[in-house]
Structure 1
């Protein structure tokens, strides 16, 4: 998975949880939970959706990487390059 594909899957996963998410107002390094007003249940649903869509195992300690679009995409790219999928 390249960075563009990773960003797309992150945005698509967020959109499944928050269908009216405005990605135009969201920069790659903005804290998307704050900008999109995601509560903890929304965030958990996002992480679960992302894991299901990518087949990548996301543990509780990995969630620190999911604060920005850039960080989320970077995590996915790193995991796929290392072959760390289910």
Structure 2
């Protein structure tokens, strides 16, 4: 998986979880919780969507690597088969 493809998947997943959020203003290091007001249930839905869309298994210990656009994108690229 290429960086741009992973980034699109992350953005699409965020847009599905928080439809009213303006994802275009989100910087690569902005935390989803602070910038979008995502709570723990929203975050779990985001992780589920990433798994569904990529087929990548995301364990509980991996979620710390999914809190920003940059981190989420790098995680998906690194773990894609």
TM over 0.5: yes
**1:20-78 deviation digits (Å, cap 9, x = unpaired):** 12123210111122110001000000000110111000000000101110000000000
- Aligned residues between the structures: 81
* Superposed displacement of residue 19, structure 1: 0.8
| Greater Cα offset, 21-30 or 9-18 | 21-30
So what's the TM-score if we normalise by structure 2? 0.95
Structure 2 residue ranges without an equivalent (≥5): none
- Match in the other structure for 2:16: 16
RMSD over aligned Cα atoms: 0.8
Matched, 1:45 2:37: no
What does 1:4-83 align with in structure 2 at a 5 Å threshold? 4-80=4-80, 83=81
Structure 1 residue ranges without an equivalent (≥5): none
Distance in 1 between residues matched to 2:67 and 2:18, nearest whole Å = 16
So what's the TM-score if we normalise by structure 1? 0.90
